[in-house]
Amino acid sequence: MNKPLILASKSPVRAKILRDAGLSFEVKASAMDEQPIKDHCLAQDQPDLLAIAPALAREKALAISHDWPGSYVIGADQTLIHDQTLLSKAADESSLRQQLLSLRGQTHHLHSAVALTFDGAILWQWD
């Protein structure tokens, strides 16, 4: 018997990737507050901006995994870093425009991470 697969994300792009790979899955987005994880990573003596995406992917997958025993859960996240600063999602179109203009011609880094869990245990993680 196959075990259910759950995508712990509302991202239509992530869902499309799984569908295009021929996988059958359900979407159960985590309602967890991301800010405490970001704050923890940023509060270190030497803030680790690259630790945020893996921590968020892992915690999203674990949050759903605890609620759906017997299921594989995929959690994923991305962070955008520019000039050693973590950029957040723009609140509105005007903020988005300003953010895009500030990135124009600048080097920035998109850091992605994925975690796979089963019954509250991390089976695999990539970042």
Q: Which residues are catalytic?
A: 77
118 contacts: CB under 8 Å, gap ≥ 6: 3, 65, 71, 72, 73
Distance CA 125, CA 121 (A): 11
Residue with tokens 């987005």: 29
User: Rounded to the nearest 5 degrees, what angle is found at the Cα of 7, between the Cα atoms of 34 and 52?
Assistant: 30
Among 78, 73, 60, 77, which residue's Cα sits nearest to residue 116? Answer: 73
